[in-house]
């Protein structure tokens, strides 16, 4: 027995004043003096990757005061889990126990199987008689079920230092969702002050330095999961999640990152640390080869392909290095591209949804005023002369984009909708194979809806100008040069709701009032839809109720 395992966990519970997993002091922030007050399930509960017969369940336990995230301390313990059809747990249908300890940072992730399809379930974890918060989840419909709707909250770019996660609170309050789609930048790697709200740090990161080691990534994941609004949304809905770059470092590619310097150690070691912490802390399945790209079906209505556009991509081009049209360059890697194409053309689902971390719609920016070009370049990563350092979106990997869009055209694949984040702004677009000819033939092979950031800086924040003033000029110029763009809003923060039925896919954009306020309100801003069989974005009459 090690010195850490000799601690009486029951004595710890008696002194911690915890009941039902209530959050008292975030474990990621606790000091040795107040560690005895850290609740046993301080990081909430979560579920994800729902299948017709099962779902992933997640939590993190703090069995002793020293077992803080990233510490490598604390005993091995066995945590019980229960799944029931009612929140009072009078009808428990599945249960079991899972071992955890410092080797996996005291996280628990289990596959709850043997469940009925299209069914709401409640789950909890217990250790030494203390229960976690109760989570609510649901399974997917049967593969061949006739389904009338799928409704998802969609979010991206949730930067702790840039404000509060009110977008999550508003989504958690909805009772009409089937799940949440997070398309990347769930957390950020920066040091305190590295990336805040227009240069102002609203909530400082833990650890205070940039994430580099396994302990760093674990502590940062832990900090984010102490946010009450994030906890509430995880507990309310199953999540479909993929990563973008900031789960590692800014502008990640297969062999490095823009925000990784030689004095920060070996990139492969850092990458391995980031991946390990991610799979420990997130309700996400990992494929047999370590891949995160994966696919989910919602009866005959929809199939969702979640992409990984960081692990296999070539180095981003710059204005002085590399050609974005080089056919040897890739954003997906060959195996993922083959998987994606075969899935899109091989499914009998009505809608082919693609969880896409960076924008696929081609954009021309030559007529945009210079001061906005620099700000746009920093968000879009477009190869626009000396404006942007990296071509980070599909615009920097045009051969892969042409291969994918050509596949849709040649195989007459209808109803493909890309659901995207990353660029801290809102967009709705037809996706043409050839942007330059769209103005006269109007042909498109897919549509794309881009959700804005939960908190990360928009154009007005970057330029430090009032919202909905100068940015409107840039939006007007973008419309003029890109007829396939149907909606652009460069300033607001918030979330979206994606509603899918047999007739159309609709996106509703909601913007929060103030990211600097933990009680911010939200308002509906825009609704667009793509009708079945059209590959076109249209105005929608009203948001879904």
Q: 480-520, pLDDT tens digit by residue?
A: 989 999 999 999 999 999 999 999 999 999 999 999 999 99
Question: How would you list the strands of the sheet with 522-531, edge to edge?
Answer: 107-112, 54-60, 45-51, 238-241, 179-182, 150-155, 494-501, 504-512, 522-531, 538-539
Label residue 175 exposed, middle or buried (CB < 10 Å: 0-12, 13-18, 19+): exposed
Q: Which of 42-51, 132-141, 462-471 has the lowest mean pLDDT?
A: 462-471
Please write down the HEC assignment for all residues of 491-532: CCCEEEEEEEECCEEEEEEEEECCCCCCCCCEEEEEEEEEEC
Q: Which of 138, 173, 190 is the last residue of a domain?
A: 138
pLDDT digits (tens, 9 = 90+) for 151-189: 999 999 999 999 999 999 999 999 999 999 999 999 999
- In this structure, the answer to whether residues 102 and 226 fall within a common structural domain is no
Looking at the DSSP bridge assignments, the partners of residue 45 are 59
Q: Tell whether omega for the bond before 207 is within 30 degrees of 0, i.e. cis.
A: yes
- In this structure, the answer to whether residues 186 and 130 fall within a common structural domain is no
Band of the pLDDT at 383, cuts 50, 70, 90?
Answer: low
Whether the per-residue pLDDT at 430 is higher than 70: the answer is yes
pLDDT at 370: 76
- In this structure, the answer to whether residues 316 and 459 fall within a common structural domain is yes
- Does residue 143 belong to any structural domain of this protein? no
Name the 3-class secondary structure at 238. strand
pLDDT at 382: 63
Question: Between 16 and 364, whose confidence is greater?
Answer: 364
Between strands 238-241 and 45-51, the pairing is parallel
Name the 3-class secondary structure at 203. coil
- From first CA to last CA, the distance across the chain in angstroms is 57
Q: Domain holding 217: CATH number? A: 3.60.21.70
Whether the per-residue pLDDT at 437 is higher than 80: the answer is no
Whether the per-residue pLDDT at 12 is higher than 90: the answer is no
Name the 3-class secondary structure at 63. coil
Q: Which of 138, 168, 185 is the last residue of a domain?
A: 138
- In this structure, the answer to whether residues 162 and 124 fall within a common structural domain is no
DSSP letter string over 252-308? EETTEETT--GGG--HHHHHHHHHHHHHHHSS----TTS---EEEEETTTEEEEEP-
Mean pLDDT of 95-104: 98
- In this structure, the answer to whether residues 154 and 31 fall within a common structural domain is no
Whether the per-residue pLDDT at 390 is higher than 60: the answer is no
Name the 3-class secondary structure at 165. coil
Residue 441 dihedral angles phi and psi, to the nearest 5° = -110, -15
Name the 3-class secondary structure at 382. coil
pLDDT at 537: 97
Q: What are the C-alpha distances in Å from 91 to residues 57, 95, 121, 127, 340?
A: 18, 11, 10, 20, 40
Question: Between 165 and 542, whose confidence is greater?
Answer: 165
Whether the per-residue pLDDT at 33 is higher than 70: the answer is no
Whether the per-residue pLDDT at 18 is higher than 80: the answer is no
pLDDT at 477: 92
Band of the pLDDT at 25, cuts 50, 70, 90?
Answer: very low
- In this structure, the answer to whether residues 83 and 166 fall within a common structural domain is no
Asked if residues 527 and 540 have their Cβ atoms less than 8 Å apart, the reply is yes
Whether the per-residue pLDDT at 135 is higher than 70: the answer is yes
Task: Show Cβ contacts of residue 73 under 8 Å, excluding neighbours closer than 6 positions.
Answer: 4, 64, 66, 67, 102
- Does residue 144 belong to any structural domain of this protein? no
Whether the per-residue pLDDT at 3 is higher than 90: the answer is no
Mean pLDDT of 301-309: 98
Cα 42 from Cα 54, distance rounded (Å): 25
Whether the per-residue pLDDT at 446 is higher than 90: the answer is yes
Cα 198 from Cα 460, distance rounded (Å): 9
- In this structure, the answer to whether residues 175 and 247 fall within a common structural domain is yes
Cα 462 from Cα 473, distance rounded (Å): 15
- In this structure, the answer to whether residues 131 and 155 fall within a common structural domain is no
Cα 320 from Cα 191, distance rounded (Å): 29
Cα 48 from Cα 304, distance rounded (Å): 14
- In this structure, the answer to whether residues 108 and 172 fall within a common structural domain is no
Band of the pLDDT at 384, cuts 50, 70, 90?
Answer: low
- Does residue 545 belong to any structural domain of this protein? no
Mean pLDDT of 4-21: 35
The helix or strand, by DSSP H or E, that contains position 104, with its residue range, turns out to be none
- In this structure, the answer to whether residues 170 and 65 fall within a common structural domain is no
Q: Which of 105, 138, 171 is the last residue of a domain?
A: 138
- Does residue 68 belong to any structural domain of this protein? yes
Cα 201 from Cα 468, distance rounded (Å): 23
How many separate domains does the chain show?
2
Q: Domain holding 75: CATH number? A: 2.60.40.380
Residue 273 dihedral angles phi and psi, to the nearest 5° = -65, -45
Residue 6 dihedral angles phi and psi, to the nearest 5° = -80, -10
- In this structure, the answer to whether residues 229 and 334 fall within a common structural domain is yes
Which tokens hold the place of 373?
């070009």
- Does residue 544 belong to any structural domain of this protein? no
- In this structure, the answer to whether residues 449 and 486 fall within a common structural domain is yes
3-state helix, strand, coil in the chain (%, to 5): 25, 25, 50
Cα 45 from Cα 159, distance rounded (Å): 20
- Does residue 403 belong to any structural domain of this protein? yes
- Does residue 145 belong to any structural domain of this protein? no
DSSP 27: G
Domain region containing 130: 3-138
- Does residue 497 belong to any structural domain of this protein? yes
């Amino acid at each position: 027995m090690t010195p850490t395992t000799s601690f009486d966990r029951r004595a710890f519970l008696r002194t911690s004043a915890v009941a039902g997993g209530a959050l008292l002091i975030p474990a990621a922030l606790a000091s040795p003096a107040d560690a005895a007050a850290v609740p046993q399930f301080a990081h909430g509960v979560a579920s994800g990757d729902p299948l017709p017969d099962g779902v992933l369940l997640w939590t993190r336990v703090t069995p002793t005061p020293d077992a803080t995230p990233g510490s490598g301390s604390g005993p091995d313990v066995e945590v019980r889990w229960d799944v029931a059809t009612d929140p009072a747990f009078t009808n428990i249908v599945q249960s079991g126990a899972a071992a955890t300890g410092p080797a996996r940072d005291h996280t628990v992730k289990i596959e709850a199987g043997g469940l009925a399809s299209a069914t709401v379930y409640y789950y909890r974890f217990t250790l030494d008689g203390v229960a976690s918060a109760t989570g609510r989840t649901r399974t997917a419909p049967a593969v061949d079920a006739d389904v009338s709707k799928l409704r998802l909250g969609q979010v991206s770019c949730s930067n702790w230092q840039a404000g509060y996660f009110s977008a999550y609170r508003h989504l958690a309050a909805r009772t009409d969702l089937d799940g949440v789609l997070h398309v990347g930048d769930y957390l950020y790697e920066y040091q305190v002050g590295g990336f805040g709200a227009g240069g102002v740090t609203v909530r400082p990161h833990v650890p205070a330095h940039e994430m580099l080691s396994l302990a760093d990534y674990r502590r940062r994941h832990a900090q984010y999961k102490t946010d009450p609004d994030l906890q509430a949304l995880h507990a309310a809905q199953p999540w479909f999640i993929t990563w973008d770059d900031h789960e590692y470092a800014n502008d990640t590619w297969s062999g490095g990152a823009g925000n990784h310097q030689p004095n920060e150690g070996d990139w492969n070691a850092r990458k391995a640390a980031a991946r390990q912490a991610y799979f420990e802390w997130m309700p996400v399945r990992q494929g047999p080869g370590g891949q995160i790209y994966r696919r989910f079906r919602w009866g005959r209505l929809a199939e969702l392909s979640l992409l990984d556009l960081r692990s296999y991509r070539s180095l981003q081009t710059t204005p002085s290095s590399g050609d974005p049209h080089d056919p040897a360059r890739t954003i997906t890697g060959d195996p993922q591209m083959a998987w994606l194409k075969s899935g899109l053309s091989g499914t009998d689902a009505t809608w082919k949804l693609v969880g896409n971390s960076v924008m696929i719609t081609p954009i021309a920016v030559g007529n945009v005023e210079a001061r906005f070009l620099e700000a746009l370049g920093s968000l879009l990563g477009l190869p626009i002369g000396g404006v942007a350092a990296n071509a980070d979106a599909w615009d920097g990997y045009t051969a892969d984009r042409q291969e994918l869009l050509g596949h849709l055209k040649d195989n007459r694949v209808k109803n493909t909708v890309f659901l995207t984040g990353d660029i801290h702004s809102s967009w709705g677009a037809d996706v043409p194979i050839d942007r330059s000819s769209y103005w006269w033939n109007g042909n498109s092979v897919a549509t794309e809806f881009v959700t804005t950031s939960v908190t990360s800086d928009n154009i007005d924040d970057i330029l430090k100008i009032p919202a909905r003033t100068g940015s409107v000029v840039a939006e007007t110029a973008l419309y003029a040069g890109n007829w396939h763009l149907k909606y652009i809003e460069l300033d607001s923060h918030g979330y979206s709701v994606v509603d899918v039925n047999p007739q159309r896919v609709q996106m509703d954009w909601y913007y929060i009032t103030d990211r600097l306020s933990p009680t911010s309100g939200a308002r509906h801003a825009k609704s667009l839809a793509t009708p079945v069989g059209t590959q076109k974005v249209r105005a929608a009459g009203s948001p879904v109720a």
